[in-house]
Amino acid sequence: MSKALEGVRILDFTHVQSGPTCTQLLAWFGADVIKVERAGAGDITREQLRDIPDVDSLYFTMLNHNKRSVTIDTKNPEGKQVLETLIQKCDVLVENFAPGALDRMGFTWERIQELNPRMIVASVKGFGPGPYEDCKVYENVAQCAGGAASTTGFDDGPPVVTGAQIGDSGTGLHLALGIVTALYQRTQTGRGQKVLAAMQDGVLNLCRVKLRDQQRLERTGTMKEYPQYPNGEFGEAVPRAGNASGGGQPGWILKCKGWETDPNAYIYFITQAPVWAKICNVIGKEEWATDPNYATPAARLPHLKDIFAEIERWTMTKTKFEAMQILNKYDIPCGPILSMKEIAEEPSLRKTGTIVEVDHPTRGKYLTVGNPIKLSDSPTEVKRSPLLGEHTDEVMAELGYSPAQISALRTAGAI
């Protein structure tokens, strides 16, 4: 079966997390992703957070599936020429170097255009144009600068970063969409273009609802869906809302049976308005279905805290899975707090290819997250990440270099 991006060749100049998540997605959709790395060292993540000595880390292997690796010293004049050949033969260059690094290497947008006017040059940077555009940025900086940290955590505590890598993987996802969109436009215009996904912008896009709330707060001075209402104070900016959804259907995380010893014995419970009567029945508070203090969403808002405390008295008598089973019978939206151990062992995720076991020549078997985006005509087959420089000779031959030329370039330290 063919793949959606078959025939698209990507010059993958990415490292660490944000860029590699983008090119990994493109590889899963069938693009030929050629990862250019520095000889000897490669992507820094190969050696970061290692769990087995001298073996590519899980950090690297889990972000670089289905790619080929070539090692080129792009600061060596002959290495530069090899990169120029690659630029001429590829459709997209993806990079997430520190601001200016590609220009310093001699590959400005203008130079790349000269070499290949159809080339799409896609970049992740920490910030877009503005006061911070020259700054290097890692995940948590983006979470802080994009509005996630100031709106995450509890009101009486400091800002908190989230475990979901919304700055890195989130921006990689944004960039991938920009790339396929530019590829589509190129079919009409014949021209390449620059694609920029700034991590601050990507995080802010994911925090869109918080900018909504900022404006609601400024207009009305309060937000009735937030836990600060009605007893707490609202300041000038959107406060941290704990586990409240802050949206139209109030929710909270509640303890389940075993919470005293199991840190994940909790459930997310949503008091969705259309099933309010069923919720009242399940928890044994039938009178709340008709009591004017509880019967409507607006009436419930001032005492959500007490309502969730009452529901929790019920959830604490059930395990999170028992509670799920009962609540789902009544169409009450809820979700168990799943640990990474539970997710890794979940059979349905294995079945869909969302969790995949991969074999690696030096590490052996390991688990990874497969392609979360499923295309019916372009199935994903997750292949192990490449060893450093594993495909240098193969790719050089495809670019038209003879064995003697490859050998000479190797002697010169260019590859």
Q: CB-based contacts of 238: which residues, under 8 Å, 6+ apart?
A: 150, 151, 210, 213, 214, 217
Q: Considering beta carbons, is residue 74 or 385 the nearer one to ligand CAO?
A: 74
Q: Which stretch binds ligand CAO (CB under 6 A): 135-143, 200-208, 291-299, 307-315?
A: 135-143
Q: Is the peptide bond before 230 cis (omega within 30 degrees of 0)?
A: yes
Examine the residue annotation and report whether 306 is marked as an active-site residue of this protein. Answer: no
Q: What is the nearest approach in angstroms of ligand CAO to the Cβ of residue 80?
A: 9
Q: What is the nearest approach in angstroms of ligand CAO to the Cβ of residue 171?
A: 7
Burial class (CB in 10 A: 0-12, 13-18, 19+), 254: buried
Q: Considering beta carbons, is residue 60 or 314 the nearer one to ligand CAO?
A: 60
- Among the options 168, 291, 331, 377, which is catalytic? 168
* Residue 72 interacts with ligand CAO (CB under 6 A): yes or no: yes
∠233-234-236 over CA atoms, to 5°? Answer: 140
Q: What is the nearest approach in angstroms of ligand CAO to the Cβ of residue 16?
A: 3
Residue from 41, 98, 164, 209 binding ligand CAO (CB under 6 A): 98
Q: Is 18 annotated as a binding residue?
A: yes
Q: Kindly state the DSSP code that residue 303 receives in the 8-state scheme.
A: G
In whole angstroms, give the CA distance from residue 26 to residue 92.
11
Residues across the chain: 415
Residue from 168, 201, 225, 312 binding ligand CAO (CB under 6 A): 168
Q: Considering beta carbons, is residue 112 or 254 the nearer one to ligand CAO?
A: 112
* Residue 138 interacts with ligand CAO (CB under 6 A): yes or no: yes
Q: Which stretch binds ligand CAO (CB under 6 A): 1-9, 11-19, 277-285, 402-410?
A: 11-19
DSSP letters along 124-179, please?
A: EESS-SSTTTT----HHHHHHHTTTGGGSS-TTS-----SS-TTTHHHHHHHHHHH
Of 370, 366, 328, whose CA–CA distance to 349 is shortest?
Answer: 370
Residues in contact with ligand CAO by CB under 6 A are 16-19, 36-38, 72-75, 96-98, 101, 104-105, 124-126, 136-139, 168
